[in-house]
Homo-oligomer: A and B are copies of this chain.
């Protein structure tokens, strides 16, 4: 197991996010990384020499098996650290991402294993995203958008999209958290907003809020 720079790891993670095992265009990667295309061309050339990606000039970049393995291990660390920050240190789920962006680059298998156990061997992070296992297996991606249910359904919130600070703020002010259960009271034929009900009352959720909140039938 060689050791990689933070920049390299960020490229690998971006590639995994954008394409999984499929090719990704130079432009998309540049956008995601926040660098210019020319920098990306260079960077992926370096990654190619380390057999982390296959590069076809003008066509796209694709993670190798080795690259995918690395991507998952970084994602595992990212999501474990987010879990630590929320569960143990009491951070809000909107605050943890930038911190995990740093912590995910700490290198130590031993540390990851111990952290995992310390957190109670979690399968999902504070946003409900699956935490890759040691061996690279992925737990299920949970839930479907709230808008996909029908009136009368009893649902439990299991995942939220990372849709920016304002979205998380809105969740907070509406007191919506993972694990909350609601009944679908109504779905507006006009604007697709949804009325959720619980023991404490009911409220309406806009379509764009609903699109970023995932639930399962409970």
Contacts and interface: CB of A to CB of B under 8 A. Distances in A.
A114 B2 CA distance: 33
Contact of A90 (B90, B99, B114): B114
B99 A108 contact: yes
A56 interface: no
A211 interface: no
Q: Taking the full assembly, how many copies of this chain does it contain? A: 2
B107 A102 contact: yes
A59 interface: no
Interface string A22-47: 00000000000000000000000000
Interface residues of A, number: 17
Interface in A85-114: 85, 88-91, 95, 99, 102-103, 106-108, 110-111, 114
A103 B102 CA distance: 9
Contacts of A99: 106, 108, 111
Contacts of A102: 106-108
A115 interface: yes
Nearest to A96: B111
A-B pairs, 3 with minimum CB distance = A89-B114, A102-B106, A89-B118
6 contacts: A85-B111, A89-B111, A91-B110, A91-B114, A99-B106, A103-B106
Given A89-B115, A95-B110, 15 more contacts: A85-B111, A88-B118, A89-B111, A89-B114, A89-B118, A90-B114, A91-B110, A91-B114, A99-B106, A99-B108, A99-B111, A102-B106, A102-B107, A102-B108, A103-B106
Interface of A: 85, 88-91, 95, 99, 102-103, 106-108, 110-111, 114-115, 118
